Structure 1
Amino acid sequence: MALGDFTVRPRMLLITAWALPVGGAGAVAALALLKLIGLVTNLVFYQRVQSSLVAPGPGHPWWLVLGAPVAGGLVIGLMARYGTEKIRGHGMPEAIEAILTGGSRVAPRVAVLKPISAAVSIGTGGPFGAEGPIIMTGGAIGSILAQALRLSADERKTLLVSGAAAGMAATFNSPLAAVLLAVELLLFEWRPRSFVPVVGAVAVSTVCRGFLLGTAPIFPVSTVGMHVTAADSALCVVAGVLGGALAVVATWLVYRAEDAFSRLPFHWMWWPAIGGAVIGVGGLIEPRALGVGYDVIDQLLTGRATVSLIVGILVVKTLIWGLSLGSGTSGGVLAPVFMIGGAVGAAEGLLFPHVLPGFWAMMGLAAVVGGVMRSPLTGVVFTLELTHAWPAALPLLISSTAAYGLSVLVLRRSVLTEKIARRGLHLTREYSTDPLESFFVAEVMDRRPVVLRRGDSLDSALAATLRTDGGEPEGRRLFPVVPDGAAYPVAVVTRRALLHAAARRDPDGPAPTVADICRPAPVVLRPDDTLRRAAYVFAEHGVTEAPVVGHAPDEHVVGTVALRHLLHARRHDLTEEHHRQRLIMRRTVPRDTPRHEDEHAPADGDRIGS
């Protein structure tokens, strides 16, 4: 069956069925990663065998604070060089690259080495989060299963993203944010065939998380007595702009650091150790900037952070996170972004009117997530699910969107897509309706086709095509051919084929007819097919023009549609975006003008781009 036909439904159910166990595996992988991080942290900083998630904290010898991140960086460099280079980085760009260029194939060793490297990095003091590695690990689980099955690249992508979103949901108990993250960052589409399986995986993962880690919010915030005034809402814009500015600085810092490391005169294997030295120096200045820092985020969001902690996190955490991430070590971005955003918001709370404890820290968190990751809705929903401060939805939306707007105006790409672009890939995250999906073949086709009969002689066929050739190059027009006395089935012939047959005909032989040189039509379209389906079947069969046949019982040829006609939808899209006109004072286009006629030229007195 041709591409674009509705064969998605049974496949969607099949992929959803496979996504459910992927969701359970993602929850188990998240638990294992958190326990592994806790084990390494306890071994390195407290010299005990425990798996509880703890922060390095203050009070350790200076040589341990300085040396542990360096040792961790050395281990990661060795793992990356002799294991797999895919463990470098924070996980999300690597998952995106696997989707874009690798057919959603992830090597099994990534599923093993990525969580181990992240546990070493974070457990030795790295200021990173567990979410990036779990995205790559969960994605690897889904991809490995998909590679064992007979699936298409799009179906492998769905299972990869299902595993990634499942791991995210289990890590933060945030199912809605995990699904939004999948849509905004990984799927590159919003279609039932992928959305339904991802939600199924996330649902299973969240249920499993309840049994494994509990169902309480990670950073609960009380909203009792919360009242947001109009002035507070206006200040949320200010908070968003400030958070967006910090996001711009942080993104700039990460990639300036990466540029600096790339100029070093020795192998990249040693770069994480240098990043570890930066972490160690930062830890000597502000020990609470080390590690995942969930305890610090909790203090910020509940209004219990001191001024020294706010300033220390805002300065030290931002610097050591950006500089060390540029070294190519292993660790996620969300938890550091949560902490940095919470710190900038808490600093704003020292000056802004009091709403409730931690209110402005929540605004800063959502703003920095929206600005750094260019995912404003994910920033809002993440904050709500982390805190369960549901009444704060509108202020969070204002702050996150303001930061997103500033980031888009100032930066060409986000912290995620910049890394993809540096690898020579083009990535867009702006979604809109495909104009090819909005138009039918009947709206753009040539309604006056030259229809030949199989019994027509070459001379009469050439005369018919010549009269309507319109000056187009020979061989570029396709002519439908129908049986004598019937309307279907349809064959096709080109003017070039007619001329070639006429030049080679034997004067002494029988007179050739169109039936001798026509061929069955590889593609037949219907008037109510969309241009998107036309583009699919053109690509599938390698053709650039096709006859258009009406529905039964007549099935007459009603037109032809060519590749050039598909550009009409793009022209209409450009007109909708750029053609500005005043409609209240005068009507420049009659109401009954069809869509295929109203945009070929601007109205009098108007101009495109005005």
Structure 2
Amino acid sequence: MKISFPRFPVHAKKWLILDLLGGVAGVLGGLGAVVLHLMIETINHFFFEILLPRISVHIGGFNLSIILLPVLGGLIVGPLITRLAPETKGHGIPEVMEAVALKGGHIRKRVAFLKVIVSAITIGSGGSAGREGPIAQTGSAIGSTLAQIFKLEPSDAKLLVVCGLSAGIAGAFNAPLGGALFGMEVLLRGIGLFNAMPVIIASVIGAAVASTFLGQKPAFNAEGLTSWSPPELVFYAILGLIFGIISVLWIKSFYAIEGVFERLKVSSTYKPALGGLATGFLIMLLPEHGIMGVGYEGVNKALAGELFLALLLILGILKMIATSCTVGSGGSGGVFAPSLYIGAMLGAAMGLLFDMAFPSIVDQPLTYALAGMAALFAGAAQAPINVIIMIPEMSNDFALIPPIMISSSTSFFVAWLFLRGSSIYTIKLHKRGIILRMGRPFILDLIKVEEVMTKKVITISPDMPASILELFFEEHHHTGYPVVEKGQLVGIVTIRDLQKLPHSIRNKVKIIEIASKDIIVAYPDETVHSVLDKMHEKNIGRLPVVDRNNPRRLLGIISKRDIIRAHEIAAKRPAE
């Protein structure tokens, strides 16, 4: 009997190469996590063990000099960020999402190096931020660099970016499955089976490399918190409902404080120092409870039952403010770890309240701290699947998956009702006109305005008589024209504006008198989907495209005809 073996598919060679490169990204991403961890420890030791004792000033039981440490860190990172790599400020993941969705996975090589430095200084000097944003951006830059070296197609380059990110996350938190799911759910918003394999390989290798140097100790000590009873699932569902609302408030407060710093008439170079000043003041009030840095020591205190109810609530709120000031002012660090801290504090507080009200039902009130971690991030990041796995991985306690599933999915749905698919990561992009939501992206989310806009724009002078519009409409067949004076956009005039004028006075009225001065505009880095939403909302057929830094500088115009062309371009691009 002759045995026939299946033929080796032609595309299998490509996937084997991607798996191999994913393994390389895993090694480098894991090493990046190790370097970041050691740098944070070293810088923190310098600031708090060497520098602080030499400058300490104690008044009323408080060490006032603690305030200066995050300020000093901000003064160091501010010039580095503004002069060398502005994309390294903030929490980093929105920039990676933009690179994957709109830039073919291209990230500047210097980002991998600089992100580690500025984040280590921000966190090590006392700034309230997490490691996941920095190592995610660093790992992504490593993946992008590999793709550039081997000249991969954009779709493959994006996949390698996700491999680097997932490896970094897995190494930073000793959570290989959680790292893979983070990349697939948060960054790619869904993935095919073949594409998942390089990501999984990268995550496993990244975690293995990091644990070789840093050990396999779980991030959280959840010993003794494995018990729960079936009736408690109702309480976990209630926790999820409440945390869905809290996650929305967390996002709103974060971007509200960021907006305050953006509006300050101060150089961006010095804003991280101002954020450090506010953070330093909060650290001075409660220096031993994890408000500064990543905050895991505070989480472990909550899990050990060392914090009373009022203090848990206070710490959760203060961490929100401190993180918003650190990251929102332009410092470098992530929001994942702070979200876990906030969720742990408020979740533990809810567990104590449930225990007070129903002592015969609640088995272990501090278990709600772990559920709170998962629920807050599931709502804020719109990524419930990731935390359902990642929190048990980080606490080495998989017995809590059922209650975490209930609280996370409930929080996710409640937050979705308010956010409609936006998240703490995508709102930063929304402010720049880049619309990315959970789930597979809408086809027009993948095309920027600058790719399809008409650059040769027919304009009209403001001093011309309105009657000239009749000739314009007849000759060019456009229904609207930008009004430009000395190279500056001053209005837009349409056929509707002309139709409002009687024929008898059209020669006497100037264009500027009938043109609309309140102009709805588009930006070249905005997505076509965002422009289409503006057109639909305002019932207009074309938008002038202007420079984001100079809204009077006309760069082009985009019409519904250009949007049809955007559909054609997107349809020709390779499937993700």
TM (norm. structure 1) is 0.66
Match of 1:585 in 2: none
- How far apart are the structure 2 equivalents of 1:200 and 1:129? 24
Instruction: Name the stretch that deviates more: 61-70 or 159-168.
Output: 61-70
Match of 1:100 in 2: 101
Match of 1:37 in 2: 40
Calculate the aligned-residue CA RMSD, in Å: 2.6
Match of 1:380 in 2: 388
Match of 1:393 in 2: 401
Match of 1:408 in 2: 416
- How far apart are the structure 1 equivalents of 2:73 and 2:440? 40
**Superposed displacement of residue 357, structure 1:** 5.6
**1:426 partnered with 2:438:** no
- How far apart are the structure 1 equivalents of 2:27 and 2:569? 36
Match of 2:524 in 1: none
Matches within 5 A, 1:85-124: 85-124=86-125
Match of 1:294 in 2: 296
Match of 1:46 in 2: 49
Matches within 5 A, 1:567-582: none
Matches within 5 A, 1:22-421: 22-47=25-50, 62-223=63-224, 226-230=227-231, 232-287=232-287, 288=289, 289-307=291-309, 309-353=311-355, 354-356=362-364, 358-412=366-420, 413-421=422-430
What is the SS of the residue equivalent to 2:353? coil
Letter in 2 for 1:408: W
Give the counterpart of 2:15 among 12, 18, 28: 12
**Post-superposition CA distance 1:410-446 (Å, at most 9, x none):** 2242110101111221212224999xxxxxxxxxxxx
Q: Relative to structure 1, is the Cα distance of residues 74 and 432 closer, same or farther in structure 2, using a 3 angstrom cutoff?
A: closer
- How far apart are the structure 1 equivalents of 2:129 and 2:227? 32
Q: Relative to structure 1, is the Cα distance of residues 251 and 536 closer, same or farther in structure 2, using a 3 angstrom cutoff?
A: closer
What is the SS of the residue equivalent to 2:261? helix
Letter in 1 for 2:330: G
Letter in 2 for 1:332: G
Unaligned residue ranges in structure 2 (runs of 5+): 1-8, 53-58, 356-361, 444-567
- How far apart are the structure 2 equivalents of 1:376 and 1:414? 12
Unaligned residue ranges in structure 1 (runs of 5+): 1-5, 50-57, 435-534, 542-610
**Post-superposition CA distance 1:495-528 (Å, at most 9, x none):** xxxxxxxxxxxxxxxxxxxxxxxxxxxxxxxxxx
**Post-superposition CA distance 1:88-121 (Å, at most 9, x none):** 0111111111112222111121111101100110
Letter in 2 for 1:99: V
- How far apart are the structure 2 equivalents of 1:333 and 1:405? 20
Letter in 1 for 2:259: D
- How far apart are the structure 1 equivalents of 2:337 and 2:111? 22
- How far apart are the structure 1 equivalents of 2:167 and 2:61? 36
Letter in 2 for 1:303: G
Q: Relative to structure 1, is the Cα distance of residues 207 and 359 closer, same or farther in structure 2, using a 3 angstrom cutoff?
A: same
Letter in 2 for 1:381: I
- How far apart are the structure 2 equivalents of 1:404 and 1:331? 24
**Post-superposition CA distance 1:565-606 (Å, at most 9, x none):** xxxxxxxxxxxxxxxxxxxxxxxxxxxxxxxxxxxxxxxxxx
**Post-superposition CA distance 1:354-409 (Å, at most 9, x none):** 32262110111111011111111112112111112212111101101111111111
What is the SS of the residue equivalent to 1:351? helix
Q: Relative to structure 1, is the Cα distance of residues 142 and 538 closer, same or farther in structure 2, using a 3 angstrom cutoff?
A: closer
Q: Relative to structure 1, is the Cα distance of residues 539 and 213 closer, same or farther in structure 2, using a 3 angstrom cutoff?
A: closer
**Superposed displacement of residue 238, structure 1:** 1.2
Instruction: Name the stretch that deviates more: 176-185 or 207-216.
Output: 207-216
**Superposed displacement of residue 184, structure 1:** 1.0
- How far apart are the structure 1 equivalents of 2:442 and 2:251? 30
- How far apart are the structure 2 equivalents of 1:338 and 1:286? 18
Letter in 2 for 1:274: L
Match of 2:464 in 1: none
Aligned residue pairs total 427
Matches within 5 A, 1:580-595: none
- How far apart are the structure 1 equivalents of 2:191 and 2:418? 27
**Superposed displacement of residue 308, structure 1:** 5.3
Percent identity, aligned pairs only, is 31
- How far apart are the structure 2 equivalents of 1:380 and 1:344? 18
**Superposed displacement of residue 189, structure 1:** 3.7
* Bigger-Rg structure (1/2): 1
CA contact (8 A) 1:110 1:137 kept: yes
- How far apart are the structure 1 equivalents of 2:326 and 2:297? 21
**Superposed displacement of residue 9, structure 1:** 2.9
- How far apart are the structure 2 equivalents of 1:59 and 1:367? 39
What is the SS of the residue equivalent to 1:269? coil
**Superposed displacement of residue 304, structure 1:** 3.3
